[in-house]
Amino acid sequence: MAKRGTTAVADKFQAFLDNLAVEHTEFIMETFRTITRQLNQHYYGIRSDSRNAHFIGSYGRGTAIKGVANINILYELPQRVQKRLEVWQQKAPRVLIQEVRELIEDVFPMVHLSNQCHIIIPSLYQLQFEIIPAFQGSKRNHIYPDPNNIAGWSTFNPLREIEVLEESNFRYTGKTKHLARMMRAWKVTRKVPISGMLLDTLVVTFMDEWENNDTSFGYYGVMGRDFLEYLAGRRKNQEIYYAQGSNRELPSPDDFGAQANEDYKLAVQAVEYEFNDHHYEANKLWRVIYGDLFPM
């Protein structure tokens, strides 16, 4: 790609990623601190507004984009609480969920339980916070109440999933999270039937294999094109993937490869336009793929 074209591509993709930045981060952090301080006061007798709590989900992984609706917070409870709940036997998960909900209600009266018994705080800016109380288990797993599971409890390891993505992002100088955010914009714009966690997992795998993973912003058009080709090549009949870091199952019953293949062809043309300095024509195609937040 000509140097002038490379510079133009770098500028527009930097602007695109700026446009994708999550809004209301100060409000999100203040809500997190209020919840954490309230639970720490009760369960640990401390006023800390940061200890024992973690952002998880796409916001915790740093791959959320503007318009994110769900903010997930993991709160680690002391083991003595798990011991105290044993007397409730099979009712223990629901007792814990109700107990945490009532504590949060003192600072957020609108808190409620969803149909799936998730602790939900509807909030400003069309945001919704979900609080997941959990205990540390073996191998860094967390055990959380899951009334929809016949056992009443389930395990997951979201912190290791975050670590794996952070390691990849460091190794490839920020490109892992950048690509994950770009492809979230694609997922939303093109209504692609793929979960955010699966998208992040495939981005991490792709970055290890991509031959241009040492390049800079000038190759972000190529990076998006090549990732779409990578998605298009996934087997249509593969219904289960496994998350990087935790190895938990990620069901994928729908075919996302067909849409990826269609948009890969558009990206091929857009990259060709960029190479020939036809940037306006390229921008129109990028906006078809990534949506209106891509700069015109």
Q: Are 151 and 32 in contact (CB under 8 A)?
A: no
Amino acid letter, 193: P
Please enumerate, as own/partner, the contacts of 109-112 that have beta carbons within 8 Å and a separation of 24 or more.
none
SS3 state of residue 285: helix
219 DSSP assignment = G
Fold classification of 25-156 is Beta Polymerase; domain 2 (3.30.460)
Q: Which helix (H) or strand (E) holds 12?
A: helix 3-19
Of the ranges 5-9, 142-146, 271-275, which one carries the lowest mean pLDDT score?
5-9
**What tens digit of pLDDT does each residue of 14-23 get?**
999 999 999 9
Report the pLDDT value the prediction gives residue 82, as an integer from 0 to 100. Answer: 95
23: number of Cβ within 10 Å? 13
**What tens digit of pLDDT does each residue of 209-260 get?**
999 999 999 999 999 999 999 999 987 878 899 999 999 999 998 999 999 9
Q: Is the pLDDT of residue 199 over 50?
A: yes
Report the pLDDT value the prediction gives residue 2, as an integer from 0 to 100. Answer: 46
pTM of the model: 0.94
> Per DSSP, which regions of the chain are E strands?
53-56, 70-76, 112-113, 119-122, 128-136, 142-145, 153-156, 240-242, 249-251
